[in-house]
Structure 1
């Protein structure tokens, strides 16, 4: 085989550049599912070593891979008109509770993304308030509730007492059983205690008063206390396992809907 003249400069040719880009996306489509699976089993401690300047790009890459993996595999297990809403508390402009460098709004995005992934893998149609590192405001999250079979927003609790721990899911009385099951799913992974009524908090008895997301029919899960160093570290390291257990509850709920 004879190479073209000046083959070392071939990368400058538009045809070569387009071909390389096409090959990259073709490979991403082919192996997106495998990439996501590998990404899921990488410990969070190792992911934390990703340089800050690269985190946004990695988040976008993972988000694209998740979308492509979902497009490749869509088992029709459920009615296409049914869907689950999964949102992350607070937003990119509202950090929520903060513990040192840890921000609630960043923390909960990880669980939201993982939960959405597992639900989609099971064939459940999912709507979220963002992809990757995106975390839209509450007003956007509330709009997603209408028409969904269940809407779950992920939060982290906080307290002045740094020893405070526990899991709770806030909802209207009609969703008491589901709220308790979601809290127990988290407890199965973290071993933390269930707050309120076996993991359920009736919004009418919540110290927070009426919450717009709950008033519109959604459930708010407080995974644990970000103010507690040990609990926040545990949740961060087991975020994908927590999401997987929650997904089992929602998948079963969807099957009965």
Structure 2
């Protein structure tokens, strides 16, 4: 089972920069990825749900993939892609979460032509612990596609979005174990 979420919901816009709203971009990315997946094996967040409501509703188990989509924000000169995993998966570079996060980063960097900022532990984010990455068993990754605050990152993303999201869907399928 693949659990995919847009990271932000109707009442939480996320980052806003350069005329873009993170919530709208992540919903679109989620929907494009879902179109590339077998819908029988996908559970998605609902746009009206808070992150906590979504996390309480889903029950990921062994072989499942939890994938949370975001855009980063920072100074206009900041750029690149990165993924977060929980502290245990970060400590174990052979964990499936770490391996999938690394593959997502490499794929994004290659297709968009942006910096690969790498896989990071959740405690290196703005939060000491990220709930979506700690729901139990299975693979869990939070993806920061690129910087919404970077004009160049966003131009590259919008030009190559469909190719990128199709390849990311293939990566998710690869790590889902039925």
TM-score category (smaller protein): 0.7 to 0.9
Q: How does 1:205-244 map to 2 (within 5 A)?
A: 205-217=124-136, 218-244=140-166
- Structure 2 unaligned blocks of 5 or more: 90-94
Query: Which secondary structure does the structure 1 equivalent of 2:158 belong to?
Result: helix
In structure 2, what is the Cα distance between the partners aligned to 1:238 and 1:108? Answer: 15
Please give the per-residue CA displacement for 1:48-70, whole angstroms capped at 9, x wherever unaligned. Answer: xxxxxxxxxxxxxxxxxxxxxxx
TM-score (normalizing by structure 1): 0.59
**Aligned ranges 1:169-208 → 2 under 5 Å:** 169-172=83-86, 173=89, 174=95, 175-195=97-117, 199-208=118-127
Q: Does 1:105 align with 2:27?
A: no
TM-score (norm 2): 0.83
Higher strand fraction (1 or 2): 2
Q: How many residues align?
A: 165
- Contact 2:18–2:149 at 8 Å: present in 1 too? no
Q: Does 1:151 align with 2:66?
A: yes
What does residue 21 of structure 1 align with? none
In 2, the alpha carbon distance for the partners of 1:124 and 1:150 equals 14
Which residue is 2:42 aligned to?
126
- Structure 1, unmatched stretches of 5+, are 1-82
Distance verdict in 2 for CA 1:90–1:151, change over 3 Å: same
Larger radius of gyration: 1
Does the alignment pair 1:139 with 2:57?
no
Q: Which has the higher contact order (CA 8 A, sep 6+)?
A: 2
